[in-house]
Amino acid sequence: MNAPSPRSGLLVVSLLLSVVSLGVAAFALFRSADSDPGYTDAQRRDATTAMCSAFDTVRRGIATNTNVTPPGGSDDITGALAVAANARVALFDGGQYLLARLDPATPADLAGDVRRFAGLLLDIGAAATAGVPNTDPVQAGRLKDAESASTAVSSRCR
């Protein structure tokens, strides 16, 4: 019978340390996901108020810039391009603005809905910039999903 080599002992110790490290990391991950960071009710209210205000600003900006008629009518290609560019900026920047204004004290349900809405705005704006028309089935689905996400945020902001 062969005696265990020092090398195999090192391998066992390394393996045990790896398993223990993985267990500690998993515990820390699950614990942090379930823990309350300790925001006060006032901090949550303030974060909600600020987020709802930002949402209202973005929603008004999108409504304003996606419903503009080119100044020279349908024959004004330059005007049509300018109107389309403003709509894309409103969508893309609106998504960025919402994500930038998301306070860590924002209640999780509102924050989740805002992230979903912002992500959809970014996707819609990027696709529109790439020339995807609103009639494209995927883009139409994004627009429908964004309307649903907007309604969800709006209902939390009442």
- Convert the pLDDT of each residue in 33-62 to its tens digit: 444 578 999 999 999 999 999 999 999 999
Assigned token pair, 77: 């290609």
38-45 contacts, C-beta under 8 A, 24 or more apart? 39/104, 39/105, 43/105, 44/105, 44/106, 44/107
Per-residue pLDDT at 99 exceeds 90 = yes
For the whole prediction, is pTM greater than 0.85? no
- Highest mean pLDDT, choosing among 10-14, 48-52, 130-134: 48-52
According to the model, what pLDDT value does residue 71 have? 78
Q: What is the CA radius of gyration of the chain?
A: 25
> Could you tell me which residues come within 8 angstroms of residue 106 by beta carbon, excluding any fewer than 6 positions away?
44, 47, 48, 51, 114
User: How buried is 137 (Cβ within 10 angstroms: 0-12 exposed, 13-18 middle, 19+ buried)?
Assistant: exposed
According to the model, what pLDDT value does residue 134 have? 92
Per-residue pLDDT at 6 exceeds 80 = no
- For residue 47, the surrounding DSSP H or E stretch is helix 41-66
Better-scored residue on pLDDT, 145 or 82 = 145
Assigned token pair, 156: 């939390």
According to the model, what pLDDT value does residue 79 have? 86
According to the model, what pLDDT value does residue 112 have? 96
